[in-house]
Amino acid sequence: MLQDIERILITEEELRAKVKEAALAIGKRYRESNPVVVGILKGSIIFYSDFIRHLDIPVTLDFMAVSSYGGGSVSSGKLRMKKDLDTDVRGRDVVIVEDIIDSGFTLANLKQLLGERGAKSVCIVTLLNKKGRRAYEIAPDYNCFDIENEFVVGYGLDYNEKYRNLPYLGVLKREIYEK
């Protein structure tokens, strides 16, 4: 795996510090409301598990799996629901935990869907934000790191289901996804 990584973008230490900071901020905001914390599978799993361990408030954990990428490095423009929530979000505060906002397509759609289901509020927490790539109007309520338009893997993020288990975030060599 390592020979496919051009360089480390965000180290384990940097991730640990920022993720804790994010969780403490969100915890303060939802102290009284028992929010539903929704992890978007699979990319958010490592971020999610680190994040919730620093949330010192009661929460309901749940997950959704959607895909907008066929498998490559370019969004296909179609959102497919692969696993829905178990929880009824009507009247609940919802905190969506996502790995990365790229075009904004995934989160724009999810935010609308949860609104339609009667969520009291929807807050978006993302680990990474590729601002320069936005095609849909959506902004995170909490973003850990702004990044450039490079394809990154590790800490849950994949390319063709590979590299998710790297403990840091690395930039994938272009030749891997352009061949």
- Interface residues with ligand IMP (CB under 6 A) are 43, 68-69, 75, 98-106, 151-153, 157
Minimum CB–partner distance for residue 1 and ligand IMP (Å):
14
| 13-21, 35-43, 54-62, 164-172 -> range binding Mg ion (CB under 5 A) | 35-43
Which residue is nearest to Mg ion, using beta carbons?
A: 43
**Catalytic residue flag (residue 102):** yes
Q: How far apart are CA 144 and CA 76, in angstroms?
A: 26
Q: Which is nearer to ligand IMP, 27 or 115 (CB)?
A: 115
Query: Toward ligand IMP, which CB reaches closer, 57 or 65?
Result: 65
Cβ-Cβ contacts under 8 Å for 100 (sequence gap 6 or more) = 43, 126, 127, 128, 129, 130, 152, 157
Shortest distance (Å) from residue 102 CB to ligand IMP: 4
Q: Which is nearer to ligand IMP, 16 or 162 (CB)?
A: 162
- Sheet of 142-146, strand order: 75-83, 60-69, 36-41, 93-101, 121-129, 142-146
Task: Report, in Å, the least distance between residue 67 CB and ligand IMP.
Answer: 8
Catalytic residue among 93, 99, 102, 158: 102
Judge whether 155 and 172 are in contact, CB under 8 Å. no
For residue 133, the minimal CB distance to Mg ion (Å) is 14
Burial class (CB in 10 A: 0-12, 13-18, 19+), 116: exposed
Which of 41-49, 53-61, 105-113, 118-126 is the region at the interface with Mg ion (rule: CB under 5 A)? 41-49
User: In sequence order, what DSSP letters do the residues of 85-118 get, joined into one string?
Assistant: -SS--BT-EEEEEEEEESSSHHHHHHHHHHHHTT
Q: Which residues are catalytic?
A: 102
